[in-house]
Amino acid sequence: MSDRKEFRDLADPEEAHDAIASLDLAPDPETIPLAEARGRVLADRLDAELDVPGFDRASVDGYAVRARDTFDAGEADPTTLPLVGTVHAGEEPSVTVEPGTCVEISTGAVVPDGADAVVMVEDTEERSRNSGDSGADAPSHVAFRTAVAPGDNVMFAGADIAAGARGLGPGTAITPREIGLLSALGVDQVPVRGRPTVGIVSTGDELVRPGEDLDSARGEIYDVNSYTVAAGVEEAGGEAVLYPHAGDDYDEMERTLIDASEECDLVLSSGSTSASAVDVIYRVIEDRGELLLHGVAVKPGKPMLIGRIGDSAYVGLPGYPVSALTIFRTFVAPAIREAAGQPEPPTATVDGEMAVEERYSEGRRRLMPAGLVEGGDGETLVYPVDRGSGATTSLVEADGVVAVHPDTEYLAAGESVTVQLFSPSVRPPRLVGIGEDDPALSRLLDLIDNPRYLADGSRRGLRQLRAGVPDIAVTAGPVDREPAGTEIGGWSREWGLIVPPENPVGVTGLGDLVDRDLRLVNRDTNSGLRTSLGNAVADLAEERDTTRRALVEAIDGFERAVRAHESPARRVLAGDADVGLGLRVTAERLDTGFVSLGTERVRVWAADDRLSKPGVTSLRALLTDGERGESDEVSGGRRLPDILSKLPGYD
């Protein structure tokens, strides 16, 4: 009898917000050194304990005077006053400005007694007067060519901020400007809002921390969520603490969560929240705390938990990285910001229209990852980026999300939508491409400003180009029909069979796959490389006077497909296959054997209405002669021939 526990009635997203808001995440205020205060939020009001400045200060280099002594001064008839001393910044004046005298003064220096104004040095001229028959020079005098009023060029004590005045109030975000004011007030210890401490617990026996050895044969995967969510916590104003992985065992899970709850204001776990027999977190929460909510009517992120463990708040995130980060951004990050006193970040949205139709009918609010691309007429087009919740590439291939109402069954091509960007700094790509994965293409894209390329295979690239999504599509090998675009360049690459080093079983060609008991790893059906192999099998079938289907059925593993161009070679090296479909460049890079089956053409197709886009013109320049145009981001000397010359099997 299964003890599988199904989800409770899925809560509305608003209920999830309310449940998290009911949790007290705010830590006590703390006092920290001024040097560590940038980015924090003041907890209390800070008043000035002294005048700033604490003295009457000269705001220019010049001469301190009694203003009335300059009232008759002008360019044609300057007023001359004897110079009786000098005051420098940082020293106490030892001279008084008596009526009819002046004192030289530096910017920032204390204005001496008797003076009520400062004349800029540019409006004066220093002179000497002869004392008569003795021939000795009398003390220097200064001629003033302009009049000043009392207070001119003087910052009086307390003019910046007076003692007892309100300096900064609670809730003020401390930036370099506030640091400057606090420094002027002599503050060296600052009372700030506490940063909520957030414990991060990733669950699952299959997880391995990045940097550690990974055993894919056991189903192990690198832990994406710990570092991703921790970065989100820090960005929101919290302090992240990473805990060891918790396996799918009740006692281990309980011990880890209790330890985290005793040390943190909030515990965030990811994984083990869906309804299955091995997922035990909800039981730990019910046994050792309080479970407020299990399951939210939102996609991605349905398996969400909210509750308490002891005095600590608890939120369980889904295990898939895209789901975990989406739920964190939507529900948890705002609560952390509020607890830390951090303001909500500026909301950045972009209006556009759907490039393609997207169907959806699951009855939950959907947060659809979406990418942006500029259409041929300059319009903003929006396309879904959804490789599934488990695909981490969706985190960087999307620019934001489109919130889709639960009652929406589909978004039509051309329908207006609003994209909430992941941040105001998101910059849509200047070039969007879809198609074949290729090493030469990767190097070309490095020379383009802000490109985005989805290596989804030749067939999908052509379909999306016809639908009007990308700027370019890249194909390898023969194509079924003429693409809906203009070919702007290309190259050739050698393809064939990847075998173990030194080819121990003596594979010589395609016929060995048909005639011998050899295991093949093929590429997926979207790959142009697979199309080349299929055509080669058809040619062999014609030579043998049989059918292509018969030869395909004779090849062990023809339907055993992988997506990436290096994956077959890696399967061969791991001993999981005898032969893999691949490129010579891959064989040489990974030190495998290689049996050539020929060359295939890689071609780059551009949408006809986007040939003048800067990203397309930059790529086209690289593909032709590589010369730099006015709008190109291409660095001189890095041309397609230079790239191909470094890749074995390319021309």
CATH number for 244? 3.40.980.10
Write the pLDDT tens digit of every residue in 161-203. 888 888 889 989 899 999 988 888 888 899 999 999 999 998 8
Structure tokens at 419: 């994209």
Task: Please tell me the total count of domains within the chain.
Answer: 5
Q: Does 95 lie in the same domain as 172? A: no
Virtual torsion, Cα 561, 563, 566, 571, nearest 10 deg: -40
Q: If you ran DSSP here, which 8-state letter would residue 203 be given?
A: B
Q: Does 583 lie in the same domain as 505? A: yes
Q: Does 607 lie in the same domain as 551? A: yes
Q: Does 620 lie in the same domain as 544? A: yes
Among 305, 340, 375, identify where a domain stops. Answer: 340
Structure tokens at 142: 């200064």
Q: Does 205 lie in the same domain as 108? A: no
Nearest alpha carbon to residue 62 among 3, 115, 109, 106: 106
Is residue 369 one of the residues assigned to a domain? yes
Q: Does 391 lie in the same domain as 336? A: no
Q: Which residues of 452-478 are buried (b: 16+ CB within 10 A; e: fewer)?
A: bbbbbbbbbbbbbbeebbbbbbbbbbe
**CATH code at position 619:** 3.40.190.10
How many beta carbons lie within 10 A of that of residue 335, not counting itself?
22
Report the C-alpha gap between 65 and 580 in whole angstroms: 92
Which residues lie below 8 Å from residue 78, measured CB to CB, with a gap of 6+? Answer: 125, 143, 144, 145
Of 183-187, 218-222, 266-270, 364-368, the least confident? 218-222
Name the strand (E) or helix (H) holding 166. Answer: strand 166-168
Residues spanned by the domain of 175: 30-53+160-192
Q: Is 312 helix (H, G, I), strand (E, B) or coil?
A: strand
Virtual torsion, Cα 354, 358, 363, 366, nearest 10 deg: -50
Q: Does 598 lie in the same domain as 498? A: yes
Is residue 479 one of the residues assigned to a domain? no
Is residue 107 one of the residues assigned to a domain? yes
Q: Does 65 lie in the same domain as 18? A: no
How many beta carbons lie within 10 A of that of residue 156, not counting itself?
14
First to last CA, the chain: 63
The string of DSSP codes covering 459-480 is HHHHHHHHHT--SEEEEES--S
Q: Does 360 lie in the same domain as 333? A: no
Taking the model in full, what pTM does it have? 0.73
Is residue 256 one of the residues assigned to a domain? yes
Q: Does 263 lie in the same domain as 209? A: yes
Q: Does 104 lie in the same domain as 232? A: no
Q: Is residue 367 scored above 90 in pLDDT? A: no
Q: Is residue 439 scored above 90 in pLDDT? A: yes
Is residue 82 one of the residues assigned to a domain? yes
Q: If you ran DSSP here, which 8-state letter would residue 69 be given?
A: G
Nearest alpha carbon to residue 271 among 254, 234, 238, 246: 246
Q: Does 499 lie in the same domain as 403? A: no
Which pLDDT score is estimated for 431?
94
Query: At 273, is the pLDDT very low, low, confident or very high (cuts 50, 70, 90)?
Result: low
Report the C-alpha gap between 532 and 13 in whole angstroms: 49
Phi, psi of 104 (to 5 degrees): -70, 140
Among 96, 128, 155, identify where a domain stops. Answer: 155
**CATH code at position 372:** 2.40.340.10
Is residue 368 one of the residues assigned to a domain? yes
CA 318 to centroid of chain Cα atoms: 21
Report the C-alpha gap between 22 and 11 in whole angstroms: 15
Report the C-alpha gap between 188 and 174 in whole angstroms: 14
Is residue 476 one of the residues assigned to a domain? no
Is residue 628 one of the residues assigned to a domain? yes
Which pLDDT score is estimated for 389?
53
Report the C-alpha gap between 481 and 484 in whole angstroms: 9
Write the pLDDT tens digit of every residue in 255-265. 999 999 999 99
Write the pLDDT tens digit of every residue in 311-323. 899 998 888 888 8
